[in-house]
Amino acid sequence: MKFTICSAFVTPQEIAEIAVAAEGCGFDVVAFVDHVSHPETISAPYTFSEDGIRPWNETAVWPEPWTMMSHVAALTTRVEFMTAVYVLPLRNPALVAQQVSTVSQLANRRIYLGVGSGWSSDEFNMAQQSFEGRGKRIEEMIDVMRSLWQGEMVEHHGRHFDFDRLIMLPKPSEPIPILFGGDADIILRRAARMGDGWISPPATIADSLGTVARLRQLLEEEGRTDDSFEFVLTVTDGDNLDEVKRAIDAGVDNIILTNPWLFEVFVSGGAVDDSAVEGKIDGVRRYAEKIIEPAKQFQKTR
């Protein structure tokens, strides 16, 4: 199982420093989050909290993920990269495909493209993209991107996107796995039908393992039990070694630790973390000593 660090609500400079430190102490993947703007008043409730309140305020920082990823790639040598998750229907698929290909070439490492359909209608209005029908649109967008990533002449004639024969270069240095984020049934079915993996919303390991079982059933229904499929859990109890071992035994491929020095980050209303970056890095190292090192020793015994 891999360990992913995701630094949310911190500055680009802090993310870079934290990523370098995380690579040095045993993390396998660095994940990048995605939002474009913060409406002062939201029109729709936040999907992943019981009271609909966003777990951040207007001071939260959201660096652009592909810019951030290319910068971190230049500072590191081993860690892989992931978006967790990227709001794909806010964008044009050809432009995203070109961005991903370019970063893939620069990083020369595995990039996992975690995508979501988005929950904020305000953000879609700001980007002048339709909020309605975004789920079906994301499916066609993925078809377009996978086609463009072949690095040869292709054409596409669909409901939302239409173009004659063209080529996009450079192609990715490695195939780009596409993982779907979310736990709604339609998202799980989409992941089982056309995804390379799934990323859970923030939850306990025990709760997410129930969804993993559901996904295994859906993969079987789709005739994909022999296909490679990444189960990635965004965990709120990743500081519990027994629960991490439970995830390993359940065949989880990856767990995401969002700000491992501050596990209460997903409490409704958000946690304010204005501590110095040195303290955050100390927390990353403590987590590696407490959880990653013994977990990887445990894996060797399985």
Reading the block at residue 168, the tokens are 């996009």
pLDDT of residue 44: 82
Phi and psi of 165, rounded to 5°?
-60, 130
Q: Please give the Cα distance from 295 to 248 (Å, whole number).
A: 8
Residue closest to 17 by CA, chosen among 286, 276, 294: 276
DSSP 50: T
Task: Give the model's confidence band at 263: pLDDT under 50 very low, under 70 low, under 90 confident, else very high.
Answer: low
Q: What is the pLDDT of residue 198?
A: 98
Buried b (16+ CB within 10 A) or exposed e, 239-273: beeebbbebbebebbbbbbbbbbbbebbeeebeee
Please report, to the nearest 10 degrees, the dihedral formed by the alpha carbons of residues 218, 221, 225, 228 taken in order.
-60
Looking at 34-43, 53-62, 117-126, 173-182, which range is the least confident one? 53-62
Phi, psi of 55 (to 5 degrees): -85, 40
Secondary structure class of 51 (helix, strand, coil): coil
Instruction: Report the alpha-carbon distance of residue 101 to residue 8 in Å, rounded.
Output: 24
Question: How many structural domains are present in the chain?
Answer: 1
With a cut of 60, say whether residue 279 has pLDDT above it. Answer: yes
- The model's pLDDT over 5-21, given as tens digits with 9 standing for 90+, comes to 998 888 999 999 999 99
Q: What is the CATH number of the domain that holds 146?
A: 3.20.20.30
Range of the domain at 83: 2-300
Say whether pLDDT at 270 is over 60.
Answer: no
Range list of β-strands (E), the chain = 2-6, 29-32, 80-87, 111-116, 154-157, 162-166, 178-181, 197-199, 230-234, 254-258
In whole angstroms, what is the distance from residue 140 CA to residue 137 CA?
A: 5
Per-residue confidence (pLDDT) for residue 206, from 0 to 100:
97
More confident site: 35 or 60:
35
What CA–CA distance (Å, rounded) separates 41 from 50? 18
- Selection from 179, 182, 142, 171 nearest residue 158 by Cα: 142
Element (H, E) at 293: helix 293-300
pTM of the model: 0.93
Residue 135, Cβ density class (10 Å: 0-12 exposed, 13-18 middle, ≥19 buried): middle
pLDDT averaged over every residue in the chain: 93
CB atoms within 10 A of CB 293: 13
pLDDT tens for residues 63-89? 999 999 999 999 999 999 999 999 999
φ/ψ of 161, rounded to 5, equals -135, 140
The torsion of the CA quartet 54, 34, 175, 19, rounded to 10 degrees, works out to -100
Q: Using N-to-C axis directions, what is the helix angle for 185-194 and 205-221, rounded to 10°?
A: 50
Average pLDDT over residues 146-167: 97
Percent pLDDT > 90 in the chain is 81
Max CA separation in the chain (angstroms): 54
